[in-house]
């Protein structure tokens, strides 16, 4: 799920995301900007989907990236990819924001496409588009009841007992459907290369 780097600075061009994050840990703003450029669209898209307000979403993304900046020194590579960490922090902040403000939407994922910076290099777009398509396909393959609890939990920020109430299901059913969805996706993403075992960046 890591992006290829096509930035202009030749000295950081060969670095993996872990290498960039190590530089960020040392206070390197340029490496930080590279990570921002790679993952800000994914983070912002997620935030907009969860908090349903662009200004609010921008604040969430700011909080998330500044947390990455401040905590980069404590990041343990065994936790996985920096991109996972960035999006995990973003998701966490978005869900917290939604719960604080008690604003939630539970629309199914729609296919609206907002367009992106036309100046972005073509191979970055191809990678992003391909990942999006693979993830959406994997979701479509889930049984409806599994996908429903997963999407409501992840994108609308409901807790499991809130979901049980909302869907009029036993809590145990919510838990087992969520788990079934996550394990199916874990296997599917590993198979299709969306999540990667090692650090390899995609080309």
Question: Which H or E run contains 182?
Answer: helix 171-192
What's the full length of the chain, in residues? 203
Single out the residue of 7, 52, 69, 148 in contact with another protein (rule: CB under 8 A).
69
Residues 128 to 157: which contact another protein by CB under 8 A? Answer: 128, 131-132, 135-136, 139, 150, 153-155, 157
Residue 170 binds another protein, judged by CB under 8 A: no
105-124: which residues touch another protein (CB under 8 A)?
A: 109-117
Q: Is 173 in the site for another protein (CB under 8 A)?
A: no
38 binds another protein (CB under 8 A): no
Q: How far is the CB of 131 from another protein (least distance, A)?
A: 5
**Smallest Cα–Cα separation from 3: which of 47, 27, 46, 34?**
34
Contact pick of 7, 53, 87, 148 for another protein (by CB under 8 A): 87
Q: Which of 60, 14, 18, 12 is nearest to 34 (CA)?
A: 12
Residue from 65, 59, 57 nearest 86 by CA: 65
84 vs 103, beta carbon nearer another protein: 84
Q: Mark 88-107 with x for binding to another protein (rule: CB under 8 A) and - for no binding.
A: x-xxx--x------------
Per CB under 8 A, does 6 bind another protein?
no
Q: Region of 177 please: left (phi>0), alpha (psi -120 to 50) or beta.
A: alpha
CB 24, CB 69: distance < 8 Å: yes
């Amino acid at each position: 799920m890591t992006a290829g780097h096509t930035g202009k600075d030749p000295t950081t061009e060969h670095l993996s995301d872990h290498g960039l994050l190590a530089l960020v840990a040392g206070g390197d703003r340029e490496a930080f900007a590279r990570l921002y450029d790679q993952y800000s669209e994914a983070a912002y898209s997620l935030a907009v989907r969860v908090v349903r307000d662009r200004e609010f979403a921008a604040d969430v993304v700011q909080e998330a990236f500044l947390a990455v900046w401040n905590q980069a020194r404590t990041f343990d590579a065994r936790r996985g990819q920096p991109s996972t960490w960035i999006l995990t922090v973003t998701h966490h902040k978005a869900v917290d924001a939604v719960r604080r403000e008690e604003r939630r939407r539970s629309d199914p994922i729609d296919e609206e496409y907002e367009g992106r910076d036309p100046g972005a290099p073509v191979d970055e777009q191809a990678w992003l588009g391909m990942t999006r398509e693979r993830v959406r396909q994997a979701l479509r393959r889930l049984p409806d009841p599994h996908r429903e609890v997963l999407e409501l939990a992840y994108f609308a920020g409901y807790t499991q007992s809130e979901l049980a109430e909302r869907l009029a299901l036993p809590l145990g059913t919510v838990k087992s459907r969520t788990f079934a969805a996550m394990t199916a996706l874990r296997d599917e993403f590993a198979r299709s290369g969306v999540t990667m075992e090692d650090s390899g960046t995609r080309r």
